[in-house]
Amino acid sequence: MEPISHEVQETTHERTLVILKPDAVERRLVGAIVARFESLPFEIIAMKLLRAHRMHLDKHFPNTKEWIRNMGTRACERLVKELNMDPAAKFGTSNPDEVGRKIAEGCRQYYASGPLCALVLQGHDVVRAVRALIGNTLPSKAAKGTIRGDFGEPEDMGKLILGAARNLIHASDSPAEAEREIAVWFSPAEILSAEG
């Protein structure tokens, strides 16, 4: 895991969305995971426990051609590179659009399967630092010291086929994506301002 500085950096308003998925809530890991974030020089400016509704899921997992193709392409690459698997053998196709659609539906089902805990963190370089802290998408490939490496369970390959690896946590992958995702899960009134 890449080291994360614990020094307080210049004030910034970069934000990121973190979602503790149903398996994290079910396994009662919310406190342990949130404690990892509290040990870093970031502010938690919003947090809530909720159930995902179709509106959340349709906005979080957009059905745009670009998003679906990107999801499918990344999944196919990950299967080959990290698991040495043929995407066609797992998904019945290696077409990124079809794979992306299957993964998006599997993810929607997974997020809707139980309560979620959503957080907004703010601070200098928070997107990169949080992604480093959560670790590899696949818990079996995540380094010790990361959230997935320490708390994750081996992947259920049957569920992985549906794109629903029970990997505890989601974090935005860019500042722009973070702002889009935060607007899906939180209203402005639910987020603390810089003044508190």
What's the rounded Cα separation, in Å, for the pair 150 and 37? 14
Choice among 13, 56, 124, 170 that is catalytic: 170
What's the rounded Cα separation, in Å, for the pair 25 and 18? 13
Q: Are residues 108 and 120 in the same domain?
A: no
Cα distance between the two ends of the chain: 32
**DSSP strand pairing (116-122 vs 169-171):** unpaired
What's the rounded Cα separation, in Å, for the pair 34 and 48? 12
Provide the residue type at 68 as one letter.
I
Q: Are residues 151 and 106 in the same domain?
A: no
Supply the pLDDT for residue 60. Answer: 92
Q: Are residues 69 and 97 in the same domain?
A: yes
Q: Tell me if residue 170 is catalytic.
A: yes
Supply the pLDDT for residue 113. Answer: 94
Supply the pLDDT for residue 85. Answer: 85
Supply the pLDDT for residue 154. Answer: 80
Question: For the chain, what is the radius of gyration of the CA atoms?
Answer: 17
Q: Are residues 42 and 68 in the same domain?
A: no
**Mean pLDDT for each 10-residue chunk of the chain (196 residues)?**
50 88 97 96 97 93 89 88 84 92 89 97 97 92 95 73 76 96 97 73
Number of folded domains in the chain? 2
CATH code, domain with 149: 3.30.70.141
